[in-house]
């Protein structure tokens, strides 16, 4: 066994451990990521801080080297799996806030796109803020979205896309909602790394969420506004 294998994560300072976790995420080391997450939690870190400083930042670094052709799909998949394992530990903790139910969201990644880490993060943070989240997964054609809206009657529809080739599909879904006369029954939020505010407006969404934390705040605002409008109409 090499010295590297023997590395005792618990003996590292917080800063060294987080740096080591960035390396471990890069190398797709699932067990080490889980161990690191648990150590930070035991040291009193909040689940949110572990998520953002150790996991999301680690994935950002992976993203840079993927872009630059230093890492390839199989390696990034290993990183993604390690990230998901770490998120699995944090998920119940983030959802445990006991916040009153704020509303319901259906969320899914659009057709042709299998990226789901960002979507899962948004789901986790929304659950933590007291939303009920129905996650319809990846690669969703318009029919899946419409069926989920019909079945679950959420307040919010969330769509995620990470590819410039799949993001236009959001407009296909929104146009189908308009055609069915149900567009205004829902708050539509869109997100994913290649999107921006202008794109959100261009496809007819109500809001673009830059990251999971911003999304939660926007969702709360939009729900409050919707309730006020309804109250004004009926009152
Ligand atoms: C991990 C990853 C993969 C993994 C996905 C694993 C998984 N289970 O998700 C794998 C290896 C499978 C993969 C495959 C591919 N990938 Co990829 N991938 C990435 C990578 C490195 C990280 C994405 C990620 O998870 N980020 C971390 C999360 C936390 O961030 P996020 O997704 O942006 O989400 C946040 C916000 O955007 C927002 N958000 C996200 N969704 C939503 C939804 C709503 C409703 C709201 C409000 C907010 C919101 O909140 C989130 C949390 O804060 C990115 C690089 C990058 N910089 O994005 C490339 C990247 C997206 N991939 C890319 C490419 C090209 C591909 C492939 C085509 C590669 C190939 N040749 O096969 C395939 C496509 C497969 C497919 N059909 O979908 C390109 C896209 C380029 C482009 N212009 O379109 C990128 C940008 C890399 C690059 N620079 O080249 N990939």
pLDDT in tens, 84-107: 999 999 989 987 766 667 899 999
Same domain, 136 and 228: yes
- Evaluate whether residue 4 is within a structural domain: no
Q: Whose CA is nearest to atom 47 of ligand 1?
A: 209
- Residue scoring higher pLDDT (176 or 230): 176
- Residue that terminates a domain, selected from 58, 77, 99: 99
CATH number at residue 140: 3.40.50.280
Cβ(51)–Cβ(40) under 8 Å? no
pLDDT for 34 equals 98
pLDDT for 97 equals 62
- CB distance 36 to ligand 1 below 6 Å: no
Q: What is the mean pLDDT of residues 5-31?
A: 94
- CB distance 125 to ligand 1 below 6 Å: no
Same domain, 71 and 120: no
Q: Whose CA is nearest to atom 51 of ligand 1?
A: 118
- Residue scoring higher pLDDT (210 or 232): 210
CATH number at residue 29: 1.10.1240.10
Instruction: Express as a percent the part of the chain with pLDDT over 70.
Output: 95
Neighbours of 140 (CB within 10 A): 22
**Residue 219 class from Cβ within 10 Å (0-12 exposed, 13-18 middle, 19+ buried)?**
buried
- Residue scoring higher pLDDT (59 or 33): 33
Say yes or no to pLDDT of 82 above 50.
yes
Backbone region of residue 112 per phi and psi (left: phi > 0; alpha: psi in -120 to 50; beta: other values): left
The Å distance, Cα 185 to ligand 1 centre, comes to 29
- Residue that terminates a domain, selected from 84, 99, 114: 99
Instruction: Express as a percent the part of the chain with pLDDT over 90.
Output: 77
Domain count, the chain: 2
Q: What is the mean pLDDT of residues 2-15?
A: 80
Q: Whose CA is nearest to atom 87 of ligand 1?
A: 67
The Å distance, Cα 87 to ligand 1 centre, comes to 16
- Evaluate whether residue 22 is within a structural domain: yes
- Evaluate whether residue 171 is within a structural domain: yes
The Å distance, Cα 202 to ligand 1 centre, comes to 21
- Evaluate whether residue 2 is within a structural domain: no
pLDDT for 199 equals 98
- CB distance 111 to ligand 1 below 6 Å: no
Say yes or no to pLDDT of 3 above 70.
no
pLDDT for 14 equals 98
- Residue that terminates a domain, selected from 59, 78, 99: 99
- CB distance 89 to ligand 1 below 6 Å: no
SS3 115: coil
| pTM, to two decimals | 0.90
Range of the domain at 111: 101-235
Number of the ligand 1 atom closest to the C-alpha atom of 71 = 21
pLDDT tens digits, one per residue of 173-205: 999 999 999 999 999 999 999 999 999 999 999
């Amino acid at each position: 066994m090499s010295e590297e294998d023997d590395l005792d994560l618990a003996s590292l300072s917080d800063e060294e451990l987080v740096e080591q976790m960035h390396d471990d995420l890069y190398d797709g080391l699932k067990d080490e990521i889980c161990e690191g997450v648990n150590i930070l939690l035991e040291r009193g870190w909040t689940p949110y801080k572990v998520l953002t400083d150790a996991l999301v930042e680690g994935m950002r670094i992976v993203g840079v080297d993927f872009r630059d052709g230093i890492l390839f799909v199989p390696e990034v998949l290993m990183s993604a799996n390690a990230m998901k394992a770490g998120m699995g530990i944090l998920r119940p903790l983030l959802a445990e806030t006991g916040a009153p139910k704020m509303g319901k969201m259906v969320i899914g990644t659009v057709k042709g796109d299998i990226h789901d880490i960002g979507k899962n993060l948004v789901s986790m943070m929304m659950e933590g803020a007291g939303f009920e989240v129905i996650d319809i997964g990846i690669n969703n054609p318009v029919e899946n979205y419409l069926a989920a809206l019909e079945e679950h009657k959420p307040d919010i529809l969330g769509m995620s896309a990470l590819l410039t080739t799949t993001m236009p599909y959001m407009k296909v879904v929104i146009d189908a909602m308009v055609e069915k006369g149900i567009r205004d029954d829902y708050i539509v939020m869109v997100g994913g790394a290649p999107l921006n505010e202008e794109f959100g407006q261009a496809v007819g969404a109500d809001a673009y969420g830059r990251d999971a934390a911003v999304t939660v705040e926007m969702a709360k605002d939009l729900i409050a506004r919707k309730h006020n409008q309804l109250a004004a109409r009926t009152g």
